[in-house]
Amino acid sequence: MNNSTQSQPAAIAAHLSNVSRTTVIELEHLSVRIGQKPVLTDINLKLKAGEVTALLGPNGAGKSTLLKSLCQEIELEAGRINIHQQPLTQWDRQNLAKSLAVLPQHASLTFPFQVHQVVEMGLYPLTLSQQQGEQLIDSQLEQVALSHLKYRSYPTLSGGEKQRVQLARVLTQLAQSDKPPILLLDEPTSALDLAQQHRVLKLVKSLAHEQNYAVVVVLHDLNQASRYADRLVILQQGEVVSDGPPHEALTPATIRQVWQYDPIVVNEPGQLTPLLF
Interface positions with another protein (CB under 8 A): 71-73, 93-98, 100-102, 104, 107-114, 117-118, 120-125, 151, 173
Backbone angles phi, psi at 186, to 5 degrees: -105, 105
Label residues 107-129 b or e (16+ Cβ within 10 Å = b): eeeeeebebbbbbbebbebbeee
Nearer to another protein among residue 27 and residue 123 (C-beta):
123
CB of 47 to another protein, least distance (A): 18
CB of 124 to another protein, least distance (A): 5
Nearer to another protein among residue 59 and residue 130 (C-beta):
130
Beta-strand runs (E) in the chain: 23-34, 37-48, 52-56, 78-83, 86-87, 100-103, 182-186, 214-218, 231-236, 239-244, 265-266, 275-276
Nearer to another protein among residue 66 and residue 276 (C-beta):
66
Tell me, rounded to whole angstroms, the distance of Cα 223 from its chain centroid. 16
Task: List residues bridging with 214 in a β-sheet.
Answer: 182
CB of 246 to another protein, least distance (A): 28
Nearer to another protein among residue 3 and residue 72 (C-beta):
72
Nearer to another protein among residue 77 and residue 120 (C-beta):
120
Residue 15 CB coordination number (10 Å): 18
CB of 52 to another protein, least distance (A): 20
CB of 174 to another protein, least distance (A): 11
